Every structure is written in structure tokens, then in C-alpha cells.
Structure 1
Amino acid sequence: MSPLDRKLFRDLARMKGQAAAIAAVIGLGVLMQVMMGGLVNTLDETRKAYYDRYRLAEVFAPVTRAPNRMIERIAQIEGVAAVEARVTGSALIDLEKDELPVRAMAISLPDSGSPRLNDFYLSSGRAPSPGHGDEVMILEGFAKARGLGPGDMLVATMNGAKRQFRIVGLAQSPEFLYTTAPGEIVPDDARFAVIWMRRAALAAAYDMKGGFNEALVALNRGANSASVEDALDLLLDEYGGTGAYGVALHGSNRFVSEEIRGLRISATVVPPIFLAVAAFLLYIVISRMVQAEREEIGLLKAFGYSSVEVSLHYLKFVLLIAVLGAAAGSVGGIAAGRGMALFYQLYFKFPFLVFDLDNRSFVTGFLVSILAASAGSLFVLSRVFALTPAVAMRPPAPADYSASGEFSPFWKRVLDQPTRMVLRRVSRHPGRIGGSVIGVGTGMALSVATLTMMEGFEVTMDLTFSVIDRSDMAVSFVVPLSENAALSLARQPGVRHVEPVRVVPAIFRNGLYSYNGALEGRVQNPLLNRVVDRQHRPIEMREDGLILGRALADILHIQPGDSVTVEVREGRRPVLQIPVIGIAQTLLGAPVFMEIEALNRALKEPGRISGAYLTLEAGEAEHVIEAVKDMPAVAGVSQKDDAYQALTKLMNEGPGFTRYIMTIVAAIITFGIIYNAARIALAERTRDLASLRVMGFTRGEAAFVLLGELAIVTVLALPLGVGLGYWLTYLIVEGFSTDIYQIPVVFSPSSQGVAVLAVVLASVLSGWLVKRDIDRTDLIEALKTRD
């Protein structure tokens, strides 16, 4: 080992605290890079393998009722590789007497064998036997949530008739990775079920003998999905086709894709921030290290070492820290990625997991760490080339502090000597102090951003379920009914108020942008489920246009005054051109609103409603539930409390859990930056502090000279951290917001106060650790001078 390499390891041992803190910052950045990169790859590859292994259809074509002979004609469409016809229908599962019926989707299986498309994974029991119409297989998630299993009995209402079935198996399906009831966006295993049974039995229940109401299509390699969808629409139009759509628009796949997209954005935005902070810290460390060792640099050059060799020595110091941090981060990222992948496997109901590390994230993590660490160091190492032995071995010229000013007699009387020393240090070294302020401010910005994001989750919950949704219960119908249905609900004992709604599936287009959603008709002044603006003021429904949710307005790139094309996928399926008259603040989904009577006129179906919001008398929920369960036209019932609990679970235990990880990482980063700043200051001033002790200063006074500087740096960093956190929040929130929910950026005093408190506590802890080192300093060793 060369003498320079031995010196390198001695320097690392001497500065192990600073080196470890910087390596931790780099490691956390690489950990996030590897974890998120691997998680995105794993989810994407698992999804693809699941879809491929169980043959998920690439095009779905729902229809009112089409004869079986149409299957042959569909198979002749150019680009179609396989076709599967099936029967589907909505159902209600009756549970305990005082409990709401659970919405379910009934799906047919071929009368013999397994489906060619949209096959299932049998997790327990067996599939229903051919010819046994009373046997069903149900979705595993619902079964576990309700404590059901093979051998249990199930009562369900199908097409207005109650039927009793025996559960023979539990299944998972690529079609139901993200399980929500029709018209809802928040998953709840306990509130939605899927029932599979043989086609002959299900066709008899829904009057579909000799016909089907959904065609599943697989495409040839390279086939154009859009052209196949157009051909299907043309072919099935006379049979009530409601519009074929590709798997990209399938509800479950869309939600999974949105989650992967959000993780990919986070993986792109967050880790580079951590690595940039680490590069800045390394720049400060190596800069001050070169300044402190200028005599050693001169001595090395005098003994024959070239400027390149000496520069490489200091560059090795930086690179070793960067590589150690990146290596630790990679190992931690693999472990964290596996843990998060298993978490998502349970959440998305994957029966298996294809864990696929993103090799690019390793390469990117190491390269960015090394380049970021080297970039700042190269500016410093240019000074090493400039130093000649004669100049370097001479003490540096005394700094000129004449422009820094003197304390007036008043301040000399008011301030004691240690305080004046602290203030002189700050005024005489603004560059160094500024660097520390930027470093601490950046760390605080990470805490501000993550805490603000968490506050945004809470605001989403409060605004959705307190300000917007003031109902107790929502009822949806199997088909649109007359307004008399609302009157019938209002007459039920325990119902205080009923507010009708009309929901129509539609595709919204604006040039190249489109969105598959629903058009919601609301009364002129909705009270139970309101539409509000950014200031949370109610918006009145008008007859002359649409009001778009903010998320959909961004997706379609539309502003008030523009027109949007609405392709209705129900009834006569008209294509409407309607102006946009307003933008609403919505945090769940991407809805479109219109005055209900104006919507019915546009559809040429006056006086129709598809559901209603209800408020109930206190203690009357059980009676209302019993009354609603006996209404054959009711397709589903949901209580606001259930939706609240489901969304809370989604945010705390589902994908939203990632925000807790980011908050913990931000806290560690913040502490690492502050501790580093304190350690760097101690390394620079150890000899000065020892001199003060010899001159008669107490340990507390000597420590105050150093820690007072840290306190000033912290105070100056607080407003900078708030400002940087403001912009950083928008980047992080963009990654977490999806079609399911949008996170508002809300800068509340509480979240900023917590961030300030975190920085102050980190400063106090760092100060205590540094003071402990000051107290342990060997005065004789610290005061030795190099000859």
C-alpha cells in the first residue's frame, strides 16, 4: 500500500463521523433509486406475466344482448386471434340482517373446461361442476374479508330473484387486481364480490339463453387495437353495443397502471435530490479538507508527488465514500424493494411475484453517486494543481477583515465575548456559512415536502367526506328509472332527504386527448353531494354546459370556454358537443358534472335517474337497509362511513403507505445534513477551541462558540427550507396523485411547524453529539503545530 493510500485510510478513520453521514445520504438516495426502480419493474413484469399466463383479453366489447352466431363474425375481423363470449350481470349478496347487501359481479364460465380468455387462478377448492347451477366460485379477497370458504352457502339476488348457492372454490383473476364496485373508485374487499358460475345457469338467470352480453377478444401480434374496436362497434351496434375498449381502459388495469406511473415519477424525481445534497456536502468537506491540509499538500509535492497524484488522493477519498454509500444503498434497496413488492403483491392480489431488479437503477445509482461526488470535488482539486510547494508550505496570508466592521461600544457592553466571537465568525465567513445554510435548508425542504404531502392526504379525506359528501348513504339502480324512484325512497321510514343523480358512462375527447369516464347529472343546487370550487364554495349546476373536475381538465387540457366531445355509451349513445363552463375542485376520481334535467334532455330521456344520495334519521340506518334490500331495482347501496374506511385503508395500508417511507428517509437525510455541518465546523475549529480552553474559557463557553454558529445556521436555514419545500412539494405530489385520488398542496402552519421542530431537534441532537466530542478533545494534541 502506497503512503498516500495509508494517509487516505487514516483520514477516513479521523473523519469517520462525517464520512458515515455523507455515505448515509448517498446510500439513501441510491436505496430509493434501487427500491423504486426494482418495484416498478417487478410490478410491471408481474402484471405482464399474470396477464399472459391467464390470457387477459386485449379488447372488451360489452353489449345489451347479442346472439351467439355473432361470435363467428367477430372472429373474422382482421387482427382478431381469439374470441370468448360470456354472460355478466350485477348481483346483490345478502349477508346479516342489519347489514347492507354487497354488490357483486356475476361472470359466466364455459359449460365445460376453462375459459379461452380471462382465465382464473384457483387458490382454493375447485371450479363449479358442469350442469350444477347451484355451485359458484367467488373472489378470494371477498371470501377472506367475509370469512367464507368452500362449503359455505351464499344468498344472492340476480335479476330481481333471490337464489341460494354453494361455494365450491376461491379464485383470483387478472381482471380483478384492483376490485371496485361499478361506479366506485375506492377498493374494498368486504364490499364487492365476483361470482363465477357455469354459463347455462347464469344465462338462465339473466335471460341470456342463446346469447351473450360481453365479447372478449385477443389480438394477433401487431394488430391495431383501435381498428378492431371500431369494427366491433360497427358489428354490435344493432345489438346495443356500448362501445368496445382496450385493456388500457379496463378499470382494474388502469388503476394498476396509474400506480406504476406514480412510482416511476417518484423514482425519477426523488433520488436525484438526495444525491445532489450528498454531492454538495462532499464539496464542502473536500474543500475544507484541502484548505486545512495545504501544508501537507506542499510537503507531498516537495517530496516528488505530482499534482495529479495528490489530486487523485483526495479524489479517492471522495469516491470511496460515494462507492461505500452506493453499495450500502444498493443492498438496502434490494431488501426494501423486495419488502415493498411483497406488500404490493398482497394489495393487488397477485398470485405470484416476478421480482425483477432494474439493473439500470444500480448503474444509475452508482454513476450518479460517483459523478455527483466527483463534480463538486473537481472544482476544489483545481486548487491542488495551483499550489506550488513553496507557496503551500507557507502559512496562508492572514485574511483581511477590515471590511467586516467592529462592534460598537453599546454592543460590546451588551454582548459577552463568546457571543461576539460567534457573530464575527458569521460575518467574516459568509461563504462558508451560506454553504451550511443551503445544506441544512435543503434537508429541511425534504421534510417540508413530505409532511405537506401527508397533510394533503388528510385534506383529501376531510374535503371529500365533510365538505363535498354530506350524505349518509348512496343507492344505485340496475337501469335508469323514473323520478318516482326517488319519491319511493323518500317515503321510506328513517329517510330525511333524497337527492337524485343520473350517471351515464361516456368517453370525453378533446383533440388527441381522451378519457373513459362518466357524466354525472346533479340537481341545480346539490346539497348532499356537492360540487365545489378551489375555495370550497358550492357551484351551481347550469344547463348550458359541463363542469369538469380539475384532474380531468388537466388530462384533457381543457379550460372554461372550450368545448368537449361527449360520446355517451348508454341508451341511444348520442355524440354531444358541449361547452365547459367551470372547473371543480375534486380529489377523488375525474368526474364531469351537468344539470340533471339538461342531461336528460340531451339524451332524450326526460325524468330519468340512475341513483340517489340519502340522509337518514339517527338510529334508522338498520330499517332503511332492510327496506332497500327488498327493492328489486336496486343494484347497490353504499354507506359513507364504509367509503371513508376504505379510502383510509387505501392511503394508510395501500399505495399511500409509500409516503411514510419517504418521510422517514427525509428525516434521516435532514439529521445527516445538520450533523455533517456541525462535524465540519468542529473539524475546522478544533485547534481554536482548544486555544480558548487554555486561555481560561470553560467547556460550556468553548462549546458555545461553535454551537452558536450552528444555531445561527439553523435559524437562517428555516425560511430557506420552507421556500425550497414549497417547490419540491409539487414535484413529489405529482408522483403520488392518480386517477383514484389527487393530493392537494396545502401549506398549513402545522406541517411547516413540525418540519421546523424536526430541524431544531436534529440541531440539538447534533449539537449534543459535537459537544461531547469537544469535551473529550485532548488539548495538547489539538494545539500541536506541524513543522
Structure 2
Amino acid sequence: MSPLDQKLLRDLWRMKTQALAIALVVATGVMLLVMMSGLVNSLEETRRAYYERYRLADVFAPVVRAPERVLDELAQIDGVSAVEGRISGRALIDVADTDLPVQARAVSLPDFGAPRLNDVYLTSGRLIDRQRTDEILLLKSFAEAHGLAPGDRLSATMHGARRSFLIVGLAQSPEFLYTTAPGELVPDDSRFGVIWMSRSAMEAAYDLDGAFNEALLSVAHPHDLPGVLAAADRLLDEYGALGAYALEDQFSNRFIMEEISGLRASAAAVPPIFLAVAAFLLNIVFSRLLQAERQQIGLIKAFGYTDAEVTWHYFKLILIITASGAALGCLSGLAAGASMVGLYIQYYKFPFLVFEIAPSSFVIAMVASISAAALGGLFALRRIFALSPAVAMRPPAPPDYSQSGRFAGVFRRLLDQPTRIVIRRLVRHPGRVLGAVAGVSAGMALSGGMLTILSGFDESIETSFSVVDRSDMLVSFIEPLSDRTIHSLRRIEGVIDVEPTRSVSVVLRNGVRSHRGGITALAPDAGLYRALDTAGGELLLPEQGIVLTPALADILDIAAGDILTVDVREGRRPLLQLPVTGIAESLLGSPAYMDLAALNRALGEPDRVSGAYLRVDPNFQEDIYTALDAMPAVAGVSVKADARAAFQEIMDEGAGSTRFVMAAIAAIIAFGIVYNTARIAYAESAHDLASLRVLGFTKGEAAFVLLGELGAVVLISLPIGALAGYGLTFAIAEGFSTDLYQIPASFSPAALGQSGLAVIAAAVFSGWMVKRDSDRADLVLALKSRE
């Protein structure tokens, strides 16, 4: 082993704690990169294989009623490779463990053979006997939530008639990976089910003998999709077409794709932050290391080693630290990704999900981490070339204090000797102080930004379920009814207040941009469910025009005052031109709001409602459930408390729990930066501190000189880190928000205060550790001449 390699091992052991801290920062960035890229790859591959194996349709075309012969015409459309007609309808399931009927969707299966499109995956039991009209398959997640199994019976209300069924099997489907009740965004296995029945049984239940109400199409090539959608709408128009839409707009698939897109964006944006911090730390550590070892470098050069050999010696030190961190990050990424797979299986109903990482992910992670570290280290290592042996072995010139004479008397009267030493150290090395301040501020900004986002999630839940929605439940009807239905609801004992609403399925268009969604119409004096403006105040809906949410306005690239094309997909399906009159806040979904009377007037259907918000007396809750269950026009009841609990569970235990991981990692990085700052300061000051001890300073006074600099750096960093964290919050909130839910970015004094306390705690702990080393230092060894 060469002498330089022996020195390399000694240096690694001497700076083991600093090397470990930097390696952990590198490992964190690599872990996130490997984990997220692996999850993206796993989700995409599993989704693709599952969709292909069970032939998920590329186009969904719902209609009111169309004869079977129309399927042959759909099959003749250029680009269509397969067509399937089926019957789909709403249902209410009676289950023993709840007083309220549970909303469900009933779907037909062919009487003979497997469906050409949208097949099901049987998890237990057997397939239905097409000759037995009472046999059904039940969605596995719903059955498990209610303790149902093959052989059990359940009753359901379909098209106004109550029927009894025998469960013969449990199934899953790529069409129902993410399941929610109609009108809701939050999945809850216990509150929404799917029933598969034979085609003949569905025809009898929904009075669609020889007809279908949904066509499924498979497209040969993606570029054929726009033409197929347009042709399908033209063919089905006379049969009450509700608008054909592509798989990308299918509800379940849209959530899956949002999750994949979010993971891909995080994999591209988050790991570079940690790698940049690692590069920054390496630059600071090695800049000070080279400054402290300048005499050694000069001596090594004097013995004949070239600049390249000396540079390679220190560069190997960087490579060892970085490669160790990258290897640890790869292993941690594998373990973290494998643990996350269980969450995705739970919330996205894949029958299987194997965590797989492409070999290129490891290569990219290693190359990115080593490149970032090398970049940070090379800025410091370039100083080696500027040091000739004679200059390097000469001690640095002492600082010039001749200009401070006029202030010396003032400082001497006001400050004691240790404090004056601290101030001189700060003034003597402004670049070093600024670097330390930048590092600590960056750590606090990361921690403060993530803690603010944590409170933003909580604020999102509180605003959505307490400020916007102040009702207790939402009752939805099978079809729009006369507003006289509201009076019937008011007569139910225990109902305190009732507020009408109407939801209409639409396609919103602005030029080439479009969005498939719905319009929510509210009463003028709405108090149970309100639209809020962007400042959080109640928004009064105008008597004409439409109000959009910020997310929806961005999707459509439209602003207040512009004209929006509204293609209504129900009833007489009119095409409306409505002015955008304002922007309203919404943290769940991307709704559009209108005044109830204005919407009915635009549709030519006065005094119509499709649902109602209720405020009820909890003492009469079971009686209200019974009364609603007896009303044939009621399609479903959504209890707000259940929806809130389900959303909170997702945020705390499901996919949203990644924000806790990010917050913990940010806190670790903040600690790593503070700790490295303290260790480096001690390494640079060991000789000076020993000199002070010999001159008669106590251990406490010597430690004050060391820790006073760290304390000043932390105090300067706190306000800068708070401002940077506030700005970073907006970028993080934008990254977490999607079209389906938005995370508010707001100033949170408590979150920034907590991040500040975390930095102070890290400084206290780091200070205690370096003070302990200072107290134990060998004064004779530390005072050896550096000349």
C-alpha cells in the first residue's frame, strides 16, 4: 500500500463522523431516486400487463339505450379492433353491519363465454352460472370490508326493485382499481361495491332487453383514438349518447396515472435536492480540509508527488464517501420500495404488484451521486494546483487588525475577551460564515417547507369538510327530480335543514383544451355547501355564467371574462356558451359552480334538483337512514363523517403518508448540515482552542469561543431559513397537488417555528459533542507547530 493510500485510510478514520453524515445525505438522495423510479416502473409495468391480460377497453361510450345491431356499426369504425356491448347501472346494497344502504355499480357479463373487453379476475369461488339469474360476483375489497364470502346472500335495490342474490365468487377488475362512490373522490372499500351479473339478469333488472347502455371499444393504434371517439359519438347520438371518452379519462385509470405522474415528477425533482446538498457539504468539508492540511500538501509535493497524484489522493476520499453512500442508498431504496408495494396493493386493487427496478436506475443513481459529489469536491480540489511546496509549507499570514484600533477600546469596554475572539473569527472569515449560514438555512428551509406542507394537508381536510361542506350527508337521486322532493326530505323527523343541489355531467372546452367533469349547481342562499373565493371568503354565485376553480382554469387556460363552451352530457344534451364570471377555491377535485336557477334555465329544465345536502339531528340518524332507504328515487347517501375519515386514513396511512417520510428526511438533512458545520469549525480551531487553554482560559471559556461562532451562524440562519422555507413551500405544494386534489401553500408560523427549534436542538446536540471532544483534547498534540 502506497504512503498516500495509508494516509487516505487515516483521514477516513479521523473524519469518520463527517464522512458518515455526508454519506447518509448521498444515501438519502439515492434511496429516493431508486425507490421512486422503481415504484414508477413497477406501477407502469403492472398496470400495462393487467390491462392487456384482461383486455381493458380504450374507449367507453355510455348511452341511454341502444339496440344490439349498433355494435356491428361501431365495429366498422376505422381503427376499432374489438367491440363489446354491456349493461351497467346503479344499485343499493343492504349489508348487515350498517344501517345505510351502500352504493354499488352493477355490470353485466356475457351469457356465453368471456367478455371480449373488460374481463374480470376471479380471486375465489367460481364464475356465475348464466342460467341462474340470482348468482353474482362481488368486488373482493368490498366483500372483505363487510365480511362477505362465496355462499353468502345479499339483497340489493336495482332500478327501484329489491332483489336477493347469491354470491358465488369474488373478483377484481382493471376497471375498478380505484373505487369510490359516485360523486366522491375518496376511496372507501366499505362504502362502494361492484356486482357482476349475467347479461340476461341485467336486461331483466334494468329493462334493457336486446339493448345495451354502454359500448366498450378497443383501438388498434393510439393515433386512431380521436377519430374513433368522434365516430362513436356520431353513431350513438340518436340513442342518447352521453359522450364517448378515452381510457385516460376513465375514473380509476386517471387516479393511477396521477399517482404515476406524481412519483415520476418527485423522482426527477426531489433526489437532485439532496444530491446538491451533498455536493455543497463536500465542497465546504474539503475546502476546509485542504486549508487545514496545506502544510501536509506542501510536504507531499516536496517529496516529489505531482499535482495530479495529490489531487487523485483527495479525490479518492470523495469517491469512497460518495460511493459508500450511493451503495447504501441503493440497498435502502430496494427495501423502501418493497415496503411501499403493500400500500399500493391496498389502495389500488392490483391482484399482484412486484417491485422491480430497471438496472439503469442503479446506474443513473450511482453516476448522478458521484457526479454531484465530484462537482462539489473539484471546486475545492482545484486549490491544490495553486499551492507550491514553498507556499503551502509556509503558515498563512496572520490577519491584519491595524484598522480596528479605533474600535478596540469600545469593544474592550463592552465585551469580554472570549466574545471579542468570537467576533474576530466571524469577521476574519466572512466566506466561511456565509457558507455555513447558507447550509444551515437550506436545512431549515427543507424542514420548514415539509412541516408547512404537513399542516397544509390538515388544512385541506379541515377546509373541505368543515368550511366548504358544513352538511352531515349528501343524498343523490337516480335522475333529476322536481324541487318538490326537497319538501319531502324536510318532513323526515330529525332533518334540521335541507339544501338542494344539482350535478350535471359535462365536457368543458376552450379552444383545443377540454376537460371531462361536471357542474355543481348551488342554491343562492347555500349555507350547507358553499363555494369559496381564492381568499377563503364565501363566493356569491352570479345569476348567469360559470365559476371555475384555479386548477380547472389552468387546465382550460381560461380566465374570468372569457367564454367557455359547455357540452352537456345528459338530458337533451345542449351545447352552451357560458361566460366565466369568477374563480372559486376547491381543495378536492376540479369542480365548476353555477347558480341552481341559472343552470336549470340554461338547460331548459326549471325547478330540477339531482341531490340535497342535509343537516340532521344525530339522535334520529338511524330513523333518517330508514326513511331514505324507503324512498325509491334515492340513488345513494354519502355521510360526510365517513368520507372525512376515509380521506384522513389515506393521508396518514396510504399514499399520502410519503409526506411524513419526506419531512423526516428533511429534518435529518438539517441535522446533518448543522453537525458538519460544528465538526468543521472544531477541526479548524483545535490549535487555537489549545492555545487559549494554555494561556489560562477555562474549558468553558474555550468552548464559548468555539460554540459562539456556531451560535451566531444558527441565529443568522433562522430568519433566512424561515423566509426560504416559506418560498419553498409553494414549490412543494405545487408538486404534491394534482387535478384531483390541491394542497394549499400558506404561511404556518407553527411549522416554521418547529423547524427552527429542530435546528436549535441540532445545534445544541452538535455543540455538546464537539465540546466533549474539545474537553478531552490532548493539548500537547494540538499545540505542535504547524510551521
Q: Is the 8 A contact 1:98 1:626 kept in 2?
A: no
Deviations 1:108-136 (A, max 9, x none): 11113322211111111112112111111
Q: Is the 8 A contact 1:46 1:355 kept in 2?
A: no
Amino acid across the alignment from 1:784 = K
Matches within 5 A, 1:285-304: 285-304=285-304
The reply on whether 1:41 has 2:56 as its aligned counterpart is: no
- 1:567 matched residue in structure 2: 567
What CA distance in whole angstroms lies between the structure 1 residues aligned with 2:388 and 2:223? Answer: 70
Amino acid across the alignment from 2:625 = I
The reply on whether 1:615 has 2:639 as its aligned counterpart is: no
Deviations 1:526-575 (A, max 9, x none): 11100011222111111221110121112112211112111111111111
The reply on whether 1:764 has 2:764 as its aligned counterpart is: yes
Q: Is the 8 A contact 1:81 1:220 kept in 2?
A: yes
Q: Is the 8 A contact 1:502 1:610 kept in 2?
A: yes
What CA distance in whole angstroms lies between the structure 2 residues aligned with 1:251 and 1:72? Answer: 27
Deviations 1:417-461 (A, max 9, x none): 222221221122111111111001111111011101101001101
- 1:458 matched residue in structure 2: 458
The reply on whether 1:659 has 2:671 as its aligned counterpart is: no
- 1:204 matched residue in structure 2: 204
What CA distance in whole angstroms lies between the structure 1 residues aligned with 2:108 and 2:569? Answer: 23
Q: Is the 8 A contact 2:399 2:428 kept in 1?
A: no
Matches within 5 A, 1:343-354: 343-354=343-354
Deviations 1:367-393 (A, max 9, x none): 222222222322322221121111212
What CA distance in whole angstroms lies between the structure 2 residues aligned with 1:473 and 1:570? Answer: 25
What CA distance in whole angstroms lies between the structure 2 residues aligned with 1:198 and 1:505? Answer: 28
- 1:705 matched residue in structure 2: 705
Q: Is the 8 A contact 2:178 2:252 kept in 1?
A: yes
- 1:272 matched residue in structure 2: 272
Q: Is the 8 A contact 1:259 1:738 kept in 2?
A: no
Mean Cα displacement is larger for which, 230-239 or 388-397? 388-397
Mean Cα displacement is larger for which, 620-629 or 403-412? 403-412
- 2:193 matched residue in structure 1: 193
Mean Cα displacement is larger for which, 473-482 or 694-703? 694-703
Deviations 1:670-699 (A, max 9, x none): 111111111101111111112222222222
What TM-score does the superposition give when structure 1 sets the normalisation length?
0.98
What secondary structure, in the 3-state scheme, does the structure 1 residue paired with 2:716 have? Answer: helix
What secondary structure, in the 3-state scheme, does the structure 2 residue paired with 1:190 have? Answer: coil
The reply on whether 1:445 has 2:445 as its aligned counterpart is: yes
What CA distance in whole angstroms lies between the structure 1 residues aligned with 2:401 and 2:141? Answer: 73
**CA shift for structure 1 position 76:** 1.2
**CA shift for structure 1 position 96:** 4.0
Q: Is the 8 A contact 1:551 1:739 kept in 2?
A: yes
Q: Is the 8 A contact 1:98 1:622 kept in 2?
A: no
What CA distance in whole angstroms lies between the structure 1 residues aligned with 2:676 and 2:754? Answer: 22
- 1:581 matched residue in structure 2: 581
Matches within 5 A, 1:182-331: 182-331=182-331
- 2:32 matched residue in structure 1: 32
The reply on whether 1:723 has 2:727 as its aligned counterpart is: no
Question: Residue 302 and residue 408 in structure 1: after superposition, are their counterparts in 2 closer, same or farther (change >3 A)?
Answer: closer
Deviations 1:33-90 (A, max 9, x none): 1111111111111111111111111100101111111111111111111111111110
Q: Is the 8 A contact 1:521 1:599 kept in 2?
A: yes
- 2:362 matched residue in structure 1: 362
Q: Is the 8 A contact 1:45 1:356 kept in 2?
A: no
What CA distance in whole angstroms lies between the structure 2 residues aligned with 1:396 and 1:778? Answer: 24
Q: Is the 8 A contact 1:494 1:620 kept in 2?
A: yes
- 2:5 matched residue in structure 1: 5
What secondary structure, in the 3-state scheme, does the structure 2 residue paired with 1:706 have? Answer: helix
Amino acid across the alignment from 1:541 = L
What CA distance in whole angstroms lies between the structure 1 residues aligned with 2:290 and 2:572? Answer: 78
What TM-score does the superposition give when structure 2 sets the normalisation length?
0.98
Q: Is the 8 A contact 1:4 1:313 kept in 2?
A: yes
Question: Residue 75 and residue 404 in structure 1: after superposition, are their counterparts in 2 closer, same or farther (change >3 A)?
Answer: farther
What secondary structure, in the 3-state scheme, does the structure 2 residue paired with 1:60 have? Answer: strand
**CA shift for structure 1 position 269:** 1.5
Q: Is the 8 A contact 1:404 1:428 kept in 2?
A: no
Question: Residue 668 and residue 405 in structure 1: after superposition, are their counterparts in 2 closer, same or farther (change >3 A)?
Answer: farther
Question: Residue 140 and residue 544 in structure 1: after superposition, are their counterparts in 2 closer, same or farther (change >3 A)?
Answer: same
**CA shift for structure 1 position 360:** 4.1
- 1:591 matched residue in structure 2: 591
Question: Residue 75 and residue 619 in structure 1: after superposition, are their counterparts in 2 closer, same or farther (change >3 A)?
Answer: same
What CA distance in whole angstroms lies between the structure 2 residues aligned with 1:193 and 1:7? Answer: 68
What CA distance in whole angstroms lies between the structure 2 residues aligned with 1:406 and 1:548? Answer: 66
Q: Is the 8 A contact 2:476 2:634 kept in 1?
A: yes
What CA distance in whole angstroms lies between the structure 1 residues aligned with 2:656 and 2:5? Answer: 47
Matches within 5 A, 1:331-410: 331-403=331-403, 409=409
Matches within 5 A, 1:82-161: 82-96=82-96, 99-161=99-161
Unaligned runs of 5+ in 1: none
Q: Is the 8 A contact 2:341 2:354 kept in 1?
A: no
Deviation >4 Å, runs of 4+ = 403-411
Deviations 1:149-175 (A, max 9, x none): 111111100000111111111111100
What secondary structure, in the 3-state scheme, does the structure 1 residue paired with 2:680 have? Answer: helix
- 1:427 matched residue in structure 2: 427
Matches within 5 A, 1:660-699: 660-699=660-699
**CA shift for structure 1 position 226:** 1.3
Aligned length: 787
Q: Is the 8 A contact 1:472 1:614 kept in 2?
A: yes
Mean Cα displacement is larger for which, 606-615 or 394-403? 394-403
What CA distance in whole angstroms lies between the structure 2 residues aligned with 1:654 and 1:205? Answer: 37
Mean Cα displacement is larger for which, 564-573 or 358-367? 358-367
Identity %: 58
What secondary structure, in the 3-state scheme, does the structure 2 residue paired with 1:189 have? Answer: coil
**CA shift for structure 1 position 365:** 2.3
Q: Is the 8 A contact 1:269 1:732 kept in 2?
A: no
Deviations 1:565-614 (A, max 9, x none): 11111111111111111001110100001111111111111111110101
RMSD across aligned positions (CA): 1.5
Q: Is the 8 A contact 1:43 1:341 kept in 2?
A: no
Q: Is the 8 A contact 2:97 2:146 kept in 1?
A: no
What secondary structure, in the 3-state scheme, does the structure 2 residue paired with 1:355 have? Answer: coil
Amino acid across the alignment from 1:88 = S
What secondary structure, in the 3-state scheme, does the structure 2 residue paired with 1:579 have? Answer: strand
What CA distance in whole angstroms lies between the structure 2 residues aligned with 1:98 and 1:287? Answer: 67
- 1:169 matched residue in structure 2: 169
What secondary structure, in the 3-state scheme, does the structure 2 residue paired with 1:594 have? Answer: strand
What CA distance in whole angstroms lies between the structure 1 residues aligned with 2:645 and 2:387? Answer: 67
Deviations 1:155-202 (A, max 9, x none): 100000111111111111100111011221111111000011111111
Question: Residue 359 and residue 747 in structure 1: after superposition, are their counterparts in 2 closer, same or farther (change >3 A)?
Answer: farther
Amino acid across the alignment from 2:307 = S
Amino acid across the alignment from 1:576 = L
Amino acid across the alignment from 1:62 = P
What secondary structure, in the 3-state scheme, does the structure 1 residue paired with 2:619 have? Answer: coil
- 1:81 matched residue in structure 2: 81
Deviations 1:658-678 (A, max 9, x none): 101101111111111111111
Unaligned runs of 5+ in 2: none
Q: Is the 8 A contact 1:471 1:528 kept in 2?
A: yes
Amino acid across the alignment from 1:736 = F
- 1:481 matched residue in structure 2: 481
Question: Residue 169 and residue 78 in structure 1: after superposition, are their counterparts in 2 closer, same or farther (change >3 A)?
Answer: same
Amino acid across the alignment from 2:533 = D
What CA distance in whole angstroms lies between the structure 1 residues aligned with 2:402 and 2:323? Answer: 44
**CA shift for structure 1 position 404:** 5.5
Question: Residue 405 and residue 666 in structure 1: after superposition, are their counterparts in 2 closer, same or farther (change >3 A)?
Answer: farther
What secondary structure, in the 3-state scheme, does the structure 1 residue paired with 2:180 have? Answer: coil
What CA distance in whole angstroms lies between the structure 2 residues aligned with 1:177 and 1:765? Answer: 48
What CA distance in whole angstroms lies between the structure 2 residues aligned with 1:384 and 1:620? Answer: 82
Deviations 1:733-778 (A, max 9, x none): 2221123211000211111111111111111111112122222212
Mean Cα displacement is larger for which, 23-32 or 723-732? 723-732
Q: Is the 8 A contact 2:343 2:655 kept in 1?
A: no
Amino acid across the alignment from 1:659 = R
